[in-house]
Amino acid sequence: MAKVNRPGSTSPPDGGWGWMIVAGCFLVTICTRAVTRCISIFFVEFQTYFAQDYAQTAWIHSIVDCVTMLCAPLGSAVSNHLSCQVGIMLGGLLASTGFILGSFATSLKHLYLTLGVLTGLGFALCYSPAIAMVGKYFSRRKALAYGIAMSGSGIGTFVLAPVVQLLIEQFSWRGALLILGGFVLNLCVCGALMRPITLKEDRSSSEQKCDCRTQKEDCKRASPYSPLTKEWAQTCLCCSLQQEYSFLLMPDFVVLAVSVLFMAYGCSPLFVYLVPYALSVGVSHQQAAFLMSILGVIDIIGNITFGWLTDRRCLKNYRYVCYLFAVGLDGLCYLCLPMLRSLPLLVPFSCTFGYFDGAYVTLIPVVTAEIVGTTSLSSALGVVYFLHAVPYLVSPPIAGWLVDTTGSYTAAFLLCGFSMIFSSVLLGFARLVKRMKRTQLPFLAKESGPKLQLWTNGSVAYSVARELDQKDGASVATAAPGYNLT
C-alpha cells in the first residue's frame, strides 16, 4: 500500500484541531498526575493490609512519581522516533497493566514493581509528548492552551479524590485498583487524538533524517553485512541524537535546567508538610484538610488565568519574566510561612502560593519552547521533567530531617523558600547578562573602523574586517604593474 503524504502546516494553527489536542492533553494530565496524587489515598489501606511502617509504604508513591520524571526523556525519544500517538497508547497500556497487576499484589515489593515502576513508566511515555504536542499547535495562545491542559492535574485531583475513597469503601483497595486500571486505559483514546503536524522548522530536520535513511538503504543494498553498513548505522544514530539533543549545549537551556533543580526542590515539601504544620499550630484536622483543598482549587485558577494573562499583547513578550516572578513569589510565601500560626493567616497563604504555583507550572513548557523552539520541545521537556525527579525524591526527606533535628518547621520552610528565590534570581541574572551583551554590540560597531562590519546571529558577532583588507590587498596587487606575488 502506498503511503499518503498529508500536507503539513507551515505555522501553528492556533485553533481548529488544536483544541482537541488541548482536550487530549487535559485528559492525559488527569490520568497521570491526578491519578498519581490519588495513590496516596491508598496509603492507610496498604499499611494496614501488609502491616508495614510509614517509610516502607511511602515508597510506592515516591517510586511512581520518580519513575515518571526519570523516564520522561524515554517518552520523548519514543514520540520522536515512532509517533506521539504510538507513545501515548503504549504508555496507557503499560500504566493500566501496572494497576491491574497491582490489584493482585501479595506484598509491598509487588506493588513497588507493578504500581511503582510499570505504571510510572507508562505515565512517562504519555506525559511529556502530550504536553509538547500542545506547543506545536499553538503560538499566539500558547500560554492559555497550556493553562487549560495543565489544569487537568488540579481538577482531576479535586474530582477523583472522593471517588477513589468511595471505590475503596465499596470494593476494597483491590477493586479500586482494578477500576483505576480501566480508567487509565483512556490514555489510549487520548493518544488517538494526537494528530501529527509538520511545521516549517520541522522540515529541515526531517530532510536531514531522510538523507540519512536513503544513504543507509544504499549501503544495505550493496552489502547488508558489510562494515560500511554498520558504520553508517552508527553515524546516523549519532547524527539523530545530536540533532534531538543539541539544545543541551545552549547556555540559556543550561541556566534553565539548573534553575529547575532548585525550583523543584522548593515546591515539593509544602504539599507534604502543610497539613502537619497546620496541626502543629493548633488548627483542627478538618481545617487543615480545607487548606489543601484551597491550594488545589486556586492552583487550577492560576493555571488558566495566568495563562490567559500572559497571552495578552502587553505581557506576551514578558512570559520569561512572568515565570521567574511567579517562582520568586512562591519562595517569598515560604519565607513568611513560619510567622503564620492561625487559620485566618494560613488561608491567604494557601491562596497566594496555590495561584503562583499554578502560574509557573503553566509557563514551564512555554518558556522551554521559547528557548529551544518547537522542533526540540518534546526532547527538551523530557529533560526538564527528568530534572524534577531527584529533587522530588530527596526534598521531603531532607525537610523531615530538619524538622526532627530542629524541632520546628522553620528551617525546612526557609531552605525551600531560598531555593525557589535562588532559582528565580538565577534566571533573572542570566537574562540581564544576555541583554547587556546585546546592547554592547551596536557600540562595538560604532567604535570600530569603517572597514569593520559586525554581522550578528543571535548573540554572536562576526568580524569581516580581515576579509575586506585581504580583498583590498589583492586589488592593489592586480593594479600595480610588475608586482610579483611570489
DSSP 14-57: SSTTHHHHHHHHHHHHIIIIIHHHHGGGGHHHHHHHHT--HHHH
User: pTM for this one?
Assistant: 0.67
User: Quick one: which of 5, 291, 34 has its CA closest to 161?
Assistant: 34
Amino acid at 363: L
* Rounded-to-integer distance, Cα 98 and Cα 105, Å: 11
Q: Which DSSP state fits 480?
A: S
* Rounded-to-integer distance, Cα 430 and Cα 424, Å: 10
* Cα–Cα distances in angstroms (integers) from residue 360 to residues 63, 189, 257, 300, 370, in the given order: 25, 28, 15, 12, 15
Grid cell digits, residue 216: 543507509
**pLDDT given for residue 90 in this prediction:** 92
Which positions ≥6 away from 231 have C-beta within 8 Å? Answer: none
Q: Which DSSP state fits 247?
A: G
**pLDDT given for residue 481 in this prediction:** 46
- Residue matched to cell numbers 488540579: 154
- Residue matched to cell numbers 531532607: 398
Grid cell digits, residue 53: 511502617
Local structure of 455: helix, strand or coil: strand
**pLDDT given for residue 466 in this prediction:** 44
Domain annotation for the chain: domains and CATH numbers: 17-197+247-437 (1.20.1250.20)
Contact 141, 19 (CB under 8 A): no
Amino acid at 159: V
Contact 258, 116 (CB under 8 A): no
Which positions ≥6 away from 168 have C-beta within 8 Å? Answer: 41, 42, 45, 176
| pLDDT tens series, the chain, 486 aa | 343 344 444 676 777 788 888 889 999 998 988 888 788 778 778 878 887 766 677 678 778 888 888 888 888 888 878 888 888 999 999 999 999 999 998 888 898 899 889 999 999 998 888 888 887 888 777 778 888 888 888 788 778 878 888 888 888 889 999 999 999 999 998 888 888 777 665 555 555 555 555 554 554 454 454 554 455 455 555 555 566 677 778 888 888 889 989 998 888 888 777 878 888 888 887 777 778 778 878 888 888 888 778 777 777 778 888 888 999 999 999 999 999 888 889 999 989 998 898 888 888 888 888 888 777 777 787 788 888 878 877 887 888 888 888 888 899 899 999 999 999 999 888 888 888 877 766 655 555 555 444 444 444 444 444 444 444 444 444 444 444 433
* Rounded-to-integer distance, Cα 464 and Cα 344, Å: 66
